[in-house]
Chain A
Amino acid sequence: MVRTKRDRQAVKVPDWEALREAASKIKEHTLSRLSEYLEQFEAHAIANGVQVHWARDGEEHNRIVHDILARRGAKKLVKSKSMLTEECHLNHHLEQHGIEVIDTDLGERIVQLQKMPPSHIVMPAIHLKRAEVGEVFHEHLGTPRGLDDAQQLTEAARQHLRQHFLTADAALTGVNFAIAETGGFVVCTNEGNADMGAHLAPVHIACMGIEKLIPKQEHLGVFLRLLARSATGQPSTVFSSHFLKPRPGQEMHIVLVDNGRSRQLGREDFRKSLACIRCAACFNTCPVYRRSGGYSYSFFISGPIGSILAPNVDKAAHGDMPFASTLCGSCSAVCPVKIDIHAQLLKWRQEITAAGHSPWWKTLAMHATAFVLKRPALYAFAGRMTRRFTPLVNALKLDPWTKARTLPDAPKESFREWMQKQGRSR
């Protein structure tokens, strides 16, 4: 459904392919001079009256954010969507220090109340049915039991979150694009939650990965035309807010986070994954994601892009993810910044296997397969056995896959046998 909306919007833009090419090239250029652009961005941001912090990893990021809040005695933080803070487990860290964190994106608030992580980076609660949201709101927001109207549920969340916006001590937002030449940054939302938080609270903290940088403001034209169309099939997000300076009396902070990105930058085969603008077009088109959902992946960013980002963080822990793909290439075809996702999936498979992170049974199975495939007679015998014993496999349900699924009936003869018969009858 979202995929169809994306396609409808993309075809309406005559220069769509030129935009993808431009976006890809701008990102490649930026990554090749990232250190300079970061220094440029920092200098301009400081000149704008913004305080800039650098964090090597998630832990340092969390410490920086907590220090800012602690200095101001902040007790309540309203937060708009930021995958980076998910990556760093910021909420947990702040809650341990007695700070209340309110996720303000509707989808994120729903899963936060459920004490669950987002299952999609753009639509965090996409896996839930209206009635399930109704249950959550009944329990936490006191809406009537059984309420399952999206309009009424959204209204309840609006009232609930407005109270938090009005009483928050600080606001945290993500960053969609940071501009080196101005020191400014752009945050895109449809709900207006990033703006509600940032423009009301006395402190605004914006957290960004170092790869969010683009050289010039005019480049926003390229990226903003691609982002919303690729993400939700809208011509634009409702709010594309350009932050440059704090408002009078406000404190504004930017936290620049590495957390493994410089390592990925050094990996030539995987460098391009840093061009990602987090639109999730690859999720929405992926035949695996669409069937299995975000919770079936081991990394906080799921889907195709998550599957090439995760092994950089931990090859052993997320070694499975690049294998959960059909390599159909649909992800690469829709990617607005032309990341060769499916090619990187294949490369990760090779790296993970070479590093010995493939499970022993998979290695054994591969060797066994190779042994059989090299021997035609054995192959024909194995085929006969498989055809005969399919009903037994169904009955035993040894593999988790077969617990809820039945293998189709095997044909009586192999293709080769059938072919030979054709020759005889002619």
Chain B
Amino acid sequence: MSSREAILGAIRSAQPKALSLPDLDALGVGGRMEGTLVNFIAMLDFIGARVVRAAKLEDATTWLRENIPVNEAIASTVPQLPGTVDLSGISDPHDLDGVHTAVFPARFGVCENGAVWIEETDLGHRVLPMIAEHLFIVVRADQIVADMHAAYGRVGKIGSGFGLFLAGPSKTADIEQCLVIGAHGARGATIFIWGE
């Protein structure tokens, strides 16, 4: 007998009578937190992300010019905000080591925890949000949901092979519980929120 059959057999004889799946709405789960832009920005601040608020996407050009040192590598997947690295020419993700700032869009933001949803198709390379030293994430102001239940409603079926909720810069508190921003992933995350 294969291990698969052995394990499934053992489970079948051990599992109890089938119980029904709970009704989340009846339990009162979700829809009880406010999904406002003000709260979203406050939460981003709490988790150590930087927020830039602007009317137009093009305003980001100025911010990037003023805040990223010249000669640093910028990898961008936002057509209106071209970077200095030609992502289409990179086939091996290892070559992204040394990118100073990664610029990419998020589909929407989650008010309750400051996370933004990112799909593989918006990244070019899955490792981009971790390997870059800094992140510049572009999200529209009207694309904010209140909680994670609404978020999964928005995510729906993930068409690509990878998606991610990203909440601020990477961090660790593994040394004596001291919070340090910038573990293996980005040292800083700027969320650029544009539009009404």
Interface residues of A, Cβ cutoff 8 Å to B? 1-2, 13-15, 18-19, 21-22, 25-26, 28-29, 31-35, 38-39, 48, 54-56, 60, 104-107, 110, 123-126, 128-130, 133, 150-151, 153-155, 158, 161-162, 165-166, 182, 184, 190-193, 195-196, 199-200, 210, 215, 217-218, 220-222, 224-225, 228, 232, 234-247, 256, 258, 262-263, 265-266, 268, 271
Return A128 CB to nearest CB of chain B, in Å. 7
Q: Quick one: given A151-B180, A158-B183, A224-B148, are A238 and B166 in contact (CB under 8 Å)? A: yes
Contacts across chains A and B counted by CB atoms under 8 Å: 261
A199 cross-chain contacts in B, Cβ below 8 A: 93, 125-127, 130-131
Within 8 Å CB of A192, what residues of B? 129-130, 170, 183-186
Q: Is the CB of A129 within 8 A of B176?
A: yes
**Contact call A221/B18, Cβ cutoff below 8 A:** no
The reply to whether the CB of B90 lies closer than 8 angstroms to some CB of chain A is: no
B170 near A56 (CB under 8 angstroms)? no
Question: Nearest-CB distance from A69 to chain B (Å)?
Answer: 19
Asked if A190 and B165 sit within 8 Å, CB to CB, the answer is no
Binding site for A on B (CB under 8 A): 2-4, 6-8, 10-22, 24, 27-30, 32-33, 43, 46-47, 93-94, 97, 110, 112-115, 120, 125-127, 129-131, 147-149, 151-153, 155, 157-158, 160-178, 180, 182-186
Report if A28-B184 is in contact (Cβ < 8 Å); known contacts: A60-B3, A265-B14: no
Asked if A236 and B165 sit within 8 Å, CB to CB, the answer is yes
For A190, the chain B residues whose CB sits under 8 A away are 170-173, 183
The answer, among A39, A150, A244, for a CB contact under 8 Å with B162, is A244
- Known pairs A221-B149, A238-B168, A240-B115; A245 contacts B183 (CB<8 A): no
Collect the chain B residues with CB atoms within 8 Å of residue A19's CB: 29
Nearest CB in chain B: distance from A178 CB, A: 14
Find A241's partner among B18, B33, B162 (CB 8 Å cutoff).
Answer: B162
- Expressed in whole angstroms, the Cα–Cα distance for A182 and B162 within the complex equals 12
Please state if B175 and A154 are interface contacts (CB–CB under 8 Å).
yes
Q: Most chain-B Cβ atoms within 10 A of its Cβ — which of A28, A35, A56?
A: A35
Check if B180 sits within 8 Å of A150, measured CB to CB: yes
Contact of A106 among B113, B166, B172 (CB under 8 A): B172
Q: Which residue of A lies closest to B151 (CB)?
A: A221
A263 to B129 alpha-carbon distance, docked (Å): 41
Q: Give the complex CA separation of A356 and B160 in angstroms.
A: 55
Instruction: Please indicate the chain A residues that have their CB under 8 angstroms from the CB of B152 in the complex.
Output: 217-218, 220-221
The complex places the Cα of A35 from the Cα of B173 at a distance, in Å, of: 38
Q: Which of A242, A243, A268 has the most CB of B within 10 A?
A: A242
Contact of B27 among A18, A155, A215, A218 (CB under 8 A): A18
Assembled-state Cα–Cα distance A325/B147 (Å): 37
The CA-CA distance from A222 to B25 in the complex, in Å, is: 12
Q: Decide: A191 and B29 in contact? CB cutoff 8 A.
A: no
14 cross-chain CB contacts under 8 A = A25-B21, A32-B17, A33-B15, A56-B6, A130-B178, A190-B183, A191-B170, A192-B129, A195-B130, A200-B93, A218-B153, A242-B163, A244-B161, A247-B161
Q: How far is the CA of A245 from the CA of B155 in the complex (A)?
A: 17
A239 x B170 contact (CB < 8 A): yes
CA distance A193 to B171 in the complex (A): 10
Cβ-neighbour of A28 out of B19, B148, B151 (below 8 A): B19
Q: A105 to nearest B CB, angstroms?
A: 7
